[in-house]
Amino acid sequence: MIPFLANKSNYKETFSGIHYVILIIAAALVGSMALFGEGPAETPVITTYNMETYIKLFLSGWLASSAMILPGISGSFLLLLIGMYSTFTHALENFVFEPLIPLGLGIVFGLLIMSKVLNYLFNKFYYQTYALVIGLVIGSIFVVYPGYESDLMLNIMSLICLIIGLLVAYGLGKIEY
């Protein structure tokens, strides 16, 4: 995604110092999320509901849908970061509709409002917005990266898969242009 976004923004000709500052700040903010939280495995499932949890569920849906609009940012990934992913998967698996209603409303409102906000940003601040998005994607790499394993063969296979993935992404980026 990063090469695609970089090419789309024509960063070599259009980015100046402020664009790189925006990119670095966005990457640092998202990357710092790797230092917070206990991880997706330890997040408890919300099973009791009150006004506070409804608001939290609504805002989580809003955030997830906002992320889905941005290229290269996953709504599920953000739900993992804020510790709400397990709650939503539990609700879907067990057909618990009570948390899905505020989630759905948050998704709808998030898509409607954030698509307008992003449209405005891309129309008024095209290259700055691309710098921000590229920074968010770069920062998300640090959050997703699980670290090295003790098994050398697993590390080698991971590296091979990474290289293959990068080559495929590069090839697909070349086909698009």
Q: Which domain holds residue 169?
A: 149-177
175/169 Cα distance (integer angstroms): 10
98-130, pLDDT tens digit by residue?
A: 999 999 999 999 999 988 998 999 899 999 998
160 lies in the same domain as 84 = no
103 lies in the same domain as 137 = yes
Task: Report how many domains make up the chain.
Answer: 2
63 lies in the same domain as 98 = yes
What is the torsional sign of CA 60, 146, 73, 76? negative
100 lies in the same domain as 155 = no
Global pTM value: 0.67
Length of the chain: 177
139 lies in the same domain as 158 = no
33/4 Cα distance (integer angstroms): 24
24 lies in the same domain as 100 = yes
82 lies in the same domain as 167 = no
Whether 24 contacts 135, CB under 8 Å: yes
129/19 Cα distance (integer angstroms): 9
141 lies in the same domain as 171 = no
Task: Kindly list the averaged pLDDT for each block of 10 residues, start to end, along the chain of length 177.
Answer: 76 89 88 63 78 93 85 74 85 89 93 91 91 86 72 87 85 70
**The two three-digit tokens of residue 29, written as one number:** 């903010």
119 lies in the same domain as 175 = no
Q: Mark out the alpha helices in 10-125 (DSSP H runs).
A: 11-14, 17-32, 51-69, 75-81, 85-93, 97-124
Q: What is the pLDDT of residue 40?
A: 47
98 lies in the same domain as 45 = yes
Whether 103 contacts 88, CB under 8 Å: yes
169 lies in the same domain as 139 = no
